[in-house]
Amino acid sequence: MNAKLQRWVDECIRLTQPDNVHWCDGSEEEYEKMLPEMLQKGILTELNQKEYPGCYLHRTHPNDVARVENLTFICTSKKEDAGPTNNWMSPADAKAKVGEMFKGSMKGRTMYVIPYIMGPAGSPLSKIGVEISDSLYVVANMRIMTRMGQIALDQLGEDGDFVPGLHSTGELDPNRRFILHFPEESLIWSYGSGYGGNVLLGKKCFSLRIASFMARKEGWMAEHMLILELEDPSGKLTWMAAAFPSACGKTNLAMLVSPLENEGYKVRTIGDDIAWLRIGEDGRLWAINPEAGFFGVLPGTSMETNSSALVTAKSNSIYTNVAVSDNGMPWWEGMGVEPPPILTDWLGNRPWNGEKPAAHPNSRFTAPARQCPCISPRWEDPMGVPISAIIFGGRRAKLTPLVYQSNSWNHGVFIGATMASETTSAAMGKSGVLRRDPMAMLPFCGYNMGQYFDHWIKMGVKASNPPAIFHVNWFRQDKNGKFIWPGFGENIRPIIWMLDRINGKAKGRETPIGTVPTPDSLHMEGLNVSNETLEQLLSINVEDWKAETDSIEKHFQTFGDDLPSELSEELIALKKRLG
Ligand code: SAT
Ligand code: MN
């Protein structure tokens, strides 16, 4: 038995006073015992078992349907260490305030002790966490999203270390809801929510917020990135990592179905949300996907946009906040099939009256990665895969072209640090508002973001062979607000351009913001996009970009003295190039 673990569990028992304590072993038998209990308590509802074997529906509280950024805190002893973009509370204040809420919060409930591994079992790059929760929904999800149970205890051993995370569902009162991180002691506390990103503590809380803090100290990177594998016609494999904000298509890109497969271009998936990257002996960045499952957005997911996601989630998966037909078929907007005549919406209203969306815009599936038809054989490689390209992107109706390449590592870091995207329903609050979301890490960086930029700069110095850096924008619109790039599978075309750039084969046009494809360097055969539209997609408006630099300057001022000088220099250089 691990002494630190025993001590911490005892402490949590004293604090929360559960009626029972259950140590999860992650076995099939355990799940088979939990399932009837979840069904009986209404935590899960059976979906059509013929069409969706092993799949269940879960409804969260209507006030608890997305991450809560305003209730998420980084609790470092000094406020400066949390930085200007994070909410901060002192560790003492946070523990006093929320400790009061945890007091007796599991009375009448069972405490589940959930040991888990982030990363492939046995990998030197993986890390162990233990979540304590009073929610069976959390257990069922963690079982899919991580390597959970005895396997983690075995890896932990008697004196191994782990990241503890305490979760209690509480009263589901938004005024008594807090997601707290104590990076200095690698501890997570989550109270008063039952929704994914707030309560599956291995995901954003550990693998991004706590891990990013560890990574800076230890010289690696924890990033909000998908990892994809690209096979080219010669059979050669290239791996790329891409950072987009939540609900901007990371899962779709990671599972891209290539329309050019008959020419030999094929995409496989390593991960769809999080990458842990280290410098290998060869000076390259090597990445693992710490997760074992996908927690993907459903609305807009169809056989056309992401057939692989649908196939992955066809069995052994949990559907959260979707609509359902009388015979147990899940349904959501953009599924690509007509809604059945009678539908129960995500709130449980039957029949759905069609006034509001039937599925919540942030409804999700939790599915095992190993079920993905395009999962790469390398996805659990204990050493990870070498990354040749880093791609930044977001939703941007105007300004940024379809794809461009940075001039250098530092210029690439500048592009990442100034990324902007329209907000989505993945977080509570207004959607569609343009905000700066550096490296898609704004909600997930566990320390001062100015220092995070500096860490990026330093990693580029330490890695003798760092990846090339690109920026993409699938979401450019015309004057009428219509998307002008088809996206989805066709995104293979800019990806091929990136591959050819890495291999020194594709032409590019040098512009003030970086290198943009020449129209003839993009593989466009078989695609119905006019030359005019293509020109528009690749165009750079110098006046708009000048206005952008003013906005970037303001953004940079947020970070004060913590902004690395390399980034101010990149801004000066960009202004000069714009004239
Ligand atoms: O809700 S999660 O944080 O798990 C998903 C996301 O917003 O990226
Ligand atoms: Mn995410």
> What is the best residue among 204, 205, 318 to mutate for testing ligand 1's pocket, by most ligand atoms within 8 Å of CB?
204
Verify that 529 and 560 share a domain, yes or no: yes
Helices (H), 17-158: 28-40, 79-82, 91-102, 136-145, 150-156
**pLDDT of res. 564:** 98
CB 76 within 8 A of CB 82: yes
- Co-location of 26 and 87 in the same domain: yes
Q: Write down the pLDDT at residue 327.
A: 97
Q: Is the CB of 67 under 6 A from ligand 1?
A: yes
Nearest CA to ligand 1 atom 6: 246
User: Which residue has a Cα nearest atom 1 of ligand 1?
Assistant: 197
What token pair was written down for 126? 């993986």
> 6 CA to middle of ligand 1, Å?
30
Residues 481 and 542 in one domain: yes
- Given the structure tokens 């949590």, which residue do they identify? 12
Please say which residue of 185, 219, 253 terminates a domain: 219
Quick one: 135 and 181 in the same domain?
yes
Strands (E), 192-328: 221-223, 226-231, 237-243, 266-271, 275-279, 285-288, 293-297, 318-320, 323-325
Of 230, 231, 232, 254, the C-alpha closest to 242 is 254
> Which DSSP letter does residue 427 get?
B
From 141, 203, 298, give the residue whose CB has the most ligand 1 atoms within 8 Å, as the site to mutate: 203
Which of 58, 60, 67 gets mutated to test ligand 1 (max ligand atoms within 8 A of its CB)? 67
Q: What are phi and psi of 535, to 5 degrees?
A: -60, -40
Q: Are residues 115 and 184 in the same domain?
A: yes
pLDDT the model gives residue 27: 98
Residue 62 has what pLDDT? 98
pLDDT digits (tens, 9 = 90+) for 53-80: 999 999 999 999 999 999 999 999 999 9
What is the spatial distance between Cα 416 and Cα 469, in angstroms, rounded to a whole number?
A: 9
Residue 28: give the domain boundaries: 3-41+70-219
User: Which pLDDT tens digit goes with each residue over 351-384?
Assistant: 999 999 999 999 999 999 999 999 999 999 999 9
- The predicted model gives 271-299 an average pLDDT of 98
Q: Are residues 468 and 559 in the same domain?
A: yes
Amino acid residing at 60: T
Q: How far does residue 224's CA lie from ligand 2's centre (Å)? A: 6
Residue 245 Cα: closest atom of ligand 1: 8
pLDDT tens digits for range 343-353: 999 999 999 99
Residue 295 CB–ligand 1 contact under 6 Å: yes
**How does residue 511 score in pLDDT terms, banded at 50, 70 and 90?**
very high
Q: Which residue has the tokens 């959260």?
A: 320
pLDDT digits (tens, 9 = 90+) for 301-334: 999 999 999 999 999 999 999 999 999 999 999 9
Across the range 217-238, mean pLDDT stands at 98
> 332 CA to middle of ligand 2, Å?
20
- Shared domain for 21 and 121, answered yes or no, is yes
The tens digit of pLDDT for each residue in 380-425 reads 999 999 999 999 998 999 999 999 999 999 999 999 999 999 999 9
551 part of a folded domain: yes
What's the pLDDT at 338? Answer: 97
Q: Confirm whether 557 is domain-assigned.
A: yes
Report the residue among 195, 246, 364, 442 best suited for mutation to probe ligand 1: largest number of ligand atoms under 8 A from its CB.
246
Q: Which ligand is nearest to the CA of 362?
A: 1
Question: Residue 60 Cα, ligand 1 centroid: separation in angstroms?
Answer: 15
Q: Is residue 89 part of a domain?
A: yes
Ligand sitting nearest the alpha carbon of 365:
1
The pLDDT tens digits of the residues spanning 121-148 come to 999 999 999 999 999 999 999 999 999 9
pLDDT band at 12 (very low <50, low <70, confident <90, very high): very high
N-to-C CA span, the chain: 66
Pick from 202, 219, 236: which residue ends a domain? 219
pLDDT score recorded for residue 573: 98
Is ligand 1 within 6 A of the CB of residue 194?
no
Distance 250 CA to ligand 1 centre (A): 11
Decide: 197 in ligand 1 pocket, CB within 6 A.
Answer: yes
Of the residues 248, 372, 374, 445, only one is catalytic, namely: 248
Separation in Å, CA 19 to CA 36, 99, 107, 302: 20, 19, 6, 44
**Nearest by Cα to 112 from 127, 131, 95, 126:** 131
Find the ligand nearest to 69 CA.
1
Cα of 188 from ligand 1 centre, angstroms: 16
Please state, for a pLDDT cut of 90, what percent of the chain lies above it.
99
Q: How many residues belong to the chain? A: 579
Task: Return the closest-CA partner of residue 469 out of 575, 576, 579, 570.
Answer: 570
CB 289 less than 6 A from any atom of ligand 1: no
Three-class DSSP category at 130: strand
Q: Which of 18, 484, 505 is nearest to 233 (CA)?
A: 505
Provide the mean pLDDT of the chain: 97
How much is the pLDDT for 131?
Answer: 99
CB 492 within 8 A of CB 412: no
For the Cβ of 246 lying below 6 angstroms from any atom of ligand 1, the answer is: yes
* pLDDT-above-70 percentage for the chain: 100
Please tell me the predicted confidence (pLDDT) of residue 151.
98
Neighbours of 301 (CB within 10 A): 25
**Residue 451 parent element (H or E):** helix 449-462
431 within some domain: yes
C-beta neighbour count of 349 within 10 angstroms? 14
Q: Whose CA is nearest to atom 2 of ligand 1?
A: 197
End position of a domain, from candidates 199, 219, 239: 219
* Helix (H), strand (E) at residue 24: none
Q: How many domains does the chain have?
A: 2
Instruction: Examine the residue annotation and report whether 205 is marked as an active-site residue of this protein.
Output: no
**Do 279 and 163 reside in the same domain of the chain?**
no
Count of alpha carbons within 13 angstroms of residue 139, beta-carbon side:
28
Phi, psi of 181, deg, nearest 5? -125, 130
Residues 187 and 240 in one domain: no
- Does residue 317 sit within a domain? no
* Separation between Cα atoms, residue 407 and residue 498, nearest integer Å: 13
| pLDDT score, position 255 | 98
What type of residue sits at position 67?
A: R
- Do 103 and 238 share a domain, yes or no? no
CA of 389 to the centre of ligand 2 (A): 19
Q: How far apart are CA 382 and CA 254, in angstroms?
A: 20
CATH classification at residue 79? 3.40.449.10
pTM over 0.85: yes
Ligand 1, atom 3: closest residue by C-alpha: 197
Position 477 scores a pLDDT of: 94
> Ligand 1: which residue has its CA nearest to atom 4?
197
